Chains A and B, each alone.
Chain A
Amino acid sequence: MFSTDDSIVAVATPPGRGGIGVVRISGPESRRIAEAMLTRREPLEARMATFTRVAAKSTDVIDEVVATYFPAPRSYTGEDVVEISAHGNPVVLQAIVVRALEIGARLAEPGEFTLRAFLNGKRDLIQAEAVADLIAAATPMQARVACDQLEGTLTGQISEIDAELFSLIASLEASLDFPDEGYHFIQPAETSRRVAVVVGKIDALLSAARRGRVIREGATVVVVGRPNVGKSSIFNLLVGSDRAIVAAVAGTTRDLISEQVDLDGLAVTLVDTAGAREATDEIEREGIARAERASGIATLLLIVLDGSQPLSRDDEQLLGRTSDRSSIVVTNKADLPAAFEREGGVSVSARTGAGAEDLRRAIVRSLTGEESLRDSAALSNVRHIELLTQAHTRLVAAQRLVDIGDTPEEFVLADLQAARAHLEEIVGARTSESLLHHIFDKFCIGK
C-alpha cells in the first residue's frame, strides 16, 4: 500500500544512459528538500530553470545541475515537484537521490510518480512496468528481455512454479480439512520431494536473475589501480574499440570519467578513476575518496596492475581491500618483460591492443555468468528477485520442517503459504476458494 502524503524521490530518466539525467522529487516537502541540497541560497522560483549545484552532506559539490520547481497542480504528478537535471552519470544521479533521502524524502516505489499523477487526474492509464522498460531499452538485448516480460515468458515460468506449489498445498490442506474421507492425500516423503522440485526451479530462475538484472539496468564497471599502471589506457582500449558508444560524458567531478559502452549487447557504464593521485595532496585525498565512492557502487571492478614492475604495497593493499568484491585483475603492459607471476586475471597490453578481446569477454562472462545470454526468460525486475528470494527462504524452511518430521503440518503449511503469497505478488493472487475448488475437483470429498 502506498502512502500518498509524503515526498518521494527517484531518478526519472532510464537507468544507465548518458547525456542528461533527471532526479524528480514530488510531494508537499519537495521544494524544501531541493532547496536544502542546492548551493544557491535564494528560494526556487516557480517554473524557472535555475542553474546551480547540488552539494553533498560534507558540502562537497556533487554536480552542476539545472533545478526547476513546478508548484501544484501544474506538474507531472499534480503535486509540488522539483526536477533536477544533472549529467547522466549513474554515480552522480544516485548521489543526488541519496542526498534527498538524507533530507527526508522517501524512495519512490516503482510506478509511484505515475500513481500520484493518476490520482490527481494527470493520467488516465497506469502503464505496465514492462511497457516502460520496452521504451527504455538501450540495447537490443534489453529490448528482448523487456519483450519476454511483456509476453509473459517470465510470469509464465513463475506461474508454473506457483501452480506446482499450489497443488502441493491443496493436497496438504485437504489432509487437514478432510481427515476422515478415507484418502491418503499425501505422504511426508512426497511433500519433501515436491518442495525440493519447487526450490530447484526457483534456484534456476534466481541464477538467471543476476544476468537479467545486468541486462536490464546495465552494469557499472569501475577501473581502479595505483597511479601509472595504465588505467586510462585500459579505459580507452575498451571505449575506443567499440563503435556502439552512446555518449561521452566528461567527468562530472573532475576526477571521474565515465563512458557508456556496449559489450556484446550489454549496456556497461565504464568509470575511470584516472588522475586521482596525480595532483596536489588535498585534491589527491579527495580524489581517492571519490574513487572509493565509485568503486562502492560498481557491479564489477577492473583492478589494473603493472606487469612490468614487482607488486607494490599499494597494489597489495588494493587487492586485499577488494578481495570480497566481484572483480577482474588486469595485468597491463604485457608487451614488456613480466616482473611477477600471477594466477588468473587477464593479461593485456594497452599499447598494442593485445588481450583486449579476452578482457571484453571476461567482463561479459563475469557480469552475466557462463550461460548464453539468449536462452530462457531472464528475471530482470528487482522486485521479482526480492519476492522469489523470500519465497525461496520460506520453502527451504518448510522442507527442513518436513525432513525433521516432528512439526505439525499446519506450520509446514504456514511456510508454504507464505512462499505462495510471495509468488502470487508476481503472478496475481488466488483465493482460498480456488484452493477448495482444486481439492473438490481432484478428490471426492464429503460423506
Chain B
Amino acid sequence: MTSFDVIVIGAGHAGVEAAYAAARLGCSVGLCTLSRDTVAHMPCNPAVGGTAKGHLVREIDALGGLMGRAIDATGIQFKLLNRSRGPAVWSPRAQADKRQYSAWVSKALQRQPKISWLIGKAARPEVKHGRVAGLVMDDGTHYGCRALVVTTGTFLNGLIHIGPERRPAGRHNEPPSHELAESLRSFGFDIGRLKTGTPPRLHRDSIDFERAVREGHFVEERGDSVPQPFSFSTTSGLRNQITCWLLHTTERVHDLVREHIDQSPLYNGQIQGIGPRYCPSLEDKVMRFPERERHQIYLEPEGVDVDEIYVNGFSMSLPRDVQELLVRALPGLQDAVVLRPGYAVEYDFVQPTELRSSLETHRVQGLFLAGQINGTSGYEEAAAQGLVVGANAALAVLGKEPLVLGRDEAYIGVMVDDLITRGCLEPYRMFTSRAEHRLLLRIDNADLRLTPLGYRIGLTDRDEWARFSARQDRHSRNTRTLERTLVRTEEGARISASERLRRPGIVLEGLIASGEVHLEFEDVSRSLEVASIENDVKYAGYLRRERASAERTRRQDRKRVPDLFDYARVPGLSREVVQRFSQVRPETVGQASRIPGVTPAAVAVLAAFLERSAFSEADRA
C-alpha cells in the first residue's frame, strides 16, 4: 500500500495551498483530485482579492503560499481598493485569467517533488482508534497517511438548482460526493447546509461594448495606472490587459424578477440551505430591497483569450429561459447570448466549532478540514485555511506545535478564531470590520508580521528569507533615518523628521520630494513601503494603544483549558453555558470568552476555577 505523510482531498484553492505548505515542511503529500484540469479552479467570479480578502492574500504570500504569486503572474487587471482611505483598509484586487491561473498553480505543484497526484474520487477516511490511518478511494484503492486534509468545497452532497431543475453536482458538470459526506456524518460531526450561487456567463462576441458605452449604458472600468502586486516577491510584470464594464439594472428587470419569483428555488421553498447576505442573489436584491431603483452589475472577462463574460452581481437560480429574458432586459445586452446559466448550489458543511485552532477536528485525530467545508466562502478564505491546515498537518506529523495565529497577528488568525468559536450561520466571508485590531493588520506589513514566523517553521525558503531580510533592514534603516534627520519647521525650529511627520498636513512623500529626508525603497512596492513607514510614525499613539489592548486579549489566550476538560465540574455555570462550552471545546480562556451567549461572569468563573485547580495541583505536586 502506498503511504504518504499527508493526503489532501481536493485541489481547489484550499487544497493546493495545503499540499504546497505540507510539502514545504518536508512531508510527502498525496494530492487527491477528480481531474487535473480543475486545479485552483475559479467556478465563480474571475477575481482574487478585495477588501480584507486582499489582506488574506498578502498574508498567505508572507507565509510562503501560492495565491499571491499566482495572481500576480496571471492577473489581467489590478486595482488597489480604498486608496482614498487609510493604509489599514487598502486592499488589492485583480481580475484573473482563469485558465492561466489554474495552469500556473498546477505547474507550481508539479515542480514540488514531494507532491504526488492521486487522480480519482475519495470515498472515506480510514480511522483506527480515533485517529486517521489512511484514505479509501471509491475504486477501492487504499492509501496510508498520518494526516488527512479534507477540502471538498461545495461537493459534499452538492445539489445544483436552476429553476425547477435539480442536479446532484459539486460544481458545473462535476459529480458530487455522497459517500465522503456520509462517512463524515458517521463520525458524529455537526453538519449543516449552506447555499451559494453564481451568475450566467455571456458570449463576449454577442455584446457590442463600444456601442453600449457610447449610448451611456456601460461605464468602462480600468485598472490602476501603477498596478500594485499581491506578492512581496513580485518585482515586475504586472499588466492591465482588459477592461471591465459597469452597468445597472432597471425597473423592467426588477419587474421581470417579481413576475417570475415563484419559479425561483430560493423563493418557492426548494432551497433549504442558507446563502450569504453579502452576496445576495438577484432575487434577494429585488425582493428584499424594493426601494432601490437600480443595482450595480459588472461585466468581467474571464480571461484574455476567453469568450466567457462573467456577469458580476447577477447571480440567480431562475429557470434558463427566464435568465435569458433578464439578461437581455439589461441595457446594452439586448442581443447577449447566454453560454451557461447561473445556478444556486446547496452543499453540506461541518460546523467549524468541531475544529481546534489548528483546524484539526476534535473528534478524529489527524483529520483536518479547510475551505468551504468549514462554512466559509471565497477563494482567499479557502486558500488561507489551506495554508494553515497544510502546515498544521505537517507539524502534527513531525510532532511539533501547531501554527496558530493571533487575532492581533493576522486576518487569518481572526478568521480561524471566528470559525472555531462562533461556528457559521451563513457562509463566512472576511471583512476588515471583523478584525478588532485592524490598525495593526495592514497589507504593507503582512511580511513584517508573518514571514519570520513562517521561516521559523519552514514555510519560507532561503531565497525568500534573504529577500525579506533585505526589506526588513531597509525598513529599519528608513525608520532610523526619519528619527535622526533634523528638518526645519515653518517657525524655524529644528525637529526630527518623524516628529514633523506627526503634525497634521505633513506627508512623507512631501518630505522626500523636498529633499529634506533621503530614504531607500524598492521601486515596485514603493507606495506601500512609504505608507508603511508613514503610518507607523504618524499614528504611533493609536498603534501603541492597539498593541496594549491586544496584549490584554493575549493574556486570556495564554490561559489554557485542558483537553477533555469537564465543564460540569465548574460550580455555578448555567446548563446552557456548560453545553456551549462542551460543544465548542475552547482551548483557551480567550476562546471561551468569544463564544456567543457566554457572559463575562461565566468566563471569570471558568478562569478562576482553572487557576484554582492549577493552584491546588501545584500544591499536591
Residues of A participating in the B interface, judged by any CB pair closer than 8 Å: 1-5, 115, 118-119, 121, 124, 126, 173, 176-182, 404, 406-411, 414, 417, 431-433, 435-437, 440, 444-447
Contact = CB atoms under 8 A, between A and B. Distances in A.
Nearest to B435: A432
A179 B572 contact: no
A413 to B, nearest CB: 8
A124 B572 contact: yes
A309 to B, nearest CB: 57
A404 B504 CA distance: 8
Contacts of B297: 447
Interface stretch (B86-94, B111-119, B125-133, B381-389): B86-94
B225 interface: no
What 4 A-B pairs are tightest by C-beta distance, nearest first? A408-B86, A447-B313, A440-B277, A446-B279
Contacts of A406: 504-505
B52 interface: yes
Nearest to A126: B601
Given A410-B85, A414-B542, A444-B295, A431 B596 contact: yes
B504 A447 contact: no
Contacts of A447: 295-298, 312-313
A37 B433 CA distance: 53
Contact of A414 (B276, B431, B439): B439
A121 B605 CA distance: 12
**From A118, A407, A433, residue with most partner B Cβ within 10 Å:** A433
B571 A118 contact: yes
A430 B448 CA distance: 32
A395 to B, nearest CB: 15
Contact of B289 (A179, A404, A444): A444
Nearest to B93: A180
Contact of B88 (A3, A179, A182, A410): A410
B292 A436 contact: no
9 contacts: A1-B556, A1-B607, A2-B607, A119-B608, A176-B51, A408-B89, A436-B277, A440-B278, A447-B298
Contacts of A126: 572, 601
Contact of B278 (A118, A119, A411, A436): A436
Contacts of A121: 571
B432 interface: yes
A131 to B, nearest CB: 15
B88 A408 contact: yes
A120 to B, nearest CB: 8
B342 to A, nearest CB: 14
Nearest to B82: A179
B540 to A, nearest CB: 12
B292 A444 contact: yes
A419 to B, nearest CB: 13
Contacts of A181: 296
A118 B572 contact: yes
A408 B82 CA distance: 11
Contacts of A408: 85-89
Contacts, number: 120
Contacts of B526: none
Contacts of B432: 173, 176-177, 410
B539 interface: yes
B171 interface: no
Contacts of A1: 556, 603-604, 607
B546 A414 contact: yes
Contacts of A411: 86, 439, 539, 542
Contacts of B285: 444, 446
Given A1-B556, A176-B432, A444-B292, A409 B86 contact: yes
B609 interface: yes
Contacts of B603: 1
A177 B431 contact: yes
A37 B88 CA distance: 55
A447 B47 CA distance: 13
Nearest to A4: B608
Contacts of A431: 422, 596
Contacts of B260: none
Given A179-B85, A407-B86, A432-B433, 14 more contacts: A1-B604, A5-B612, A119-B608, A176-B85, A177-B51, A179-B82, A408-B89, A411-B439, A436-B278, A436-B433, A445-B277, A446-B277, A446-B285, A447-B313
B201 interface: no
A173 B436 CA distance: 12
A108 to B, nearest CB: 14
- From B52, B596, B604, B607, name the one whose CB has the most chain A CB atoms within 10 angstroms: B604
A406 B422 CA distance: 37
A406 B507 CA distance: 11
B10 to A, nearest CB: 26
A2 B85 CA distance: 40
Contacts of A118: 571-572, 605
A118 B604 CA distance: 12
B438 interface: yes
Contact of B51 (A115, A179, A444): A179
Contacts of B542: 411, 414
A2 B288 CA distance: 46
Contacts of B434: 432, 436
B452 interface: no
A180 B82 CA distance: 9
A134 B21 CA distance: 61
A4 B278 contact: no
Nearest to A180: B81
Contacts of B439: 410-411, 414
A173 B433 contact: yes
Nearest to B281: A446
A211 B556 CA distance: 37
B575 to A, nearest CB: 13
Residue from A121, A173, A178, A444 with most neighbouring chain B CB atoms (10 Å): A444
Contacts of B546: 414
A432 B437 CA distance: 12
A2 B604 contact: yes
A433 B288 CA distance: 20
A446 B426 CA distance: 15
A256 to B, nearest CB: 39
Nearest to B295: A444
A373 B434 CA distance: 43
A410 B89 contact: yes
B615 interface: yes
B174 interface: no
B433 A119 contact: no
Interface in B275-322: 276-280, 285, 288-289, 292, 295-298, 312-313
B438 A4 contact: no
B215 interface: no
Contacts of A440: 277-278
Interface in B439-459: 439
Contacts of B88: 408, 410
Interface string B417-434: 000001000000001111
A286 B539 CA distance: 53
A121 B545 CA distance: 39
Nearest to B437: A414
B608 A2 contact: yes
Contacts of B608: 2, 4, 115, 119
Nearest to A441: B277
A192 to B, nearest CB: 16
B214 to A, nearest CB: 22
B196 to A, nearest CB: 12
Contacts of B505: 406
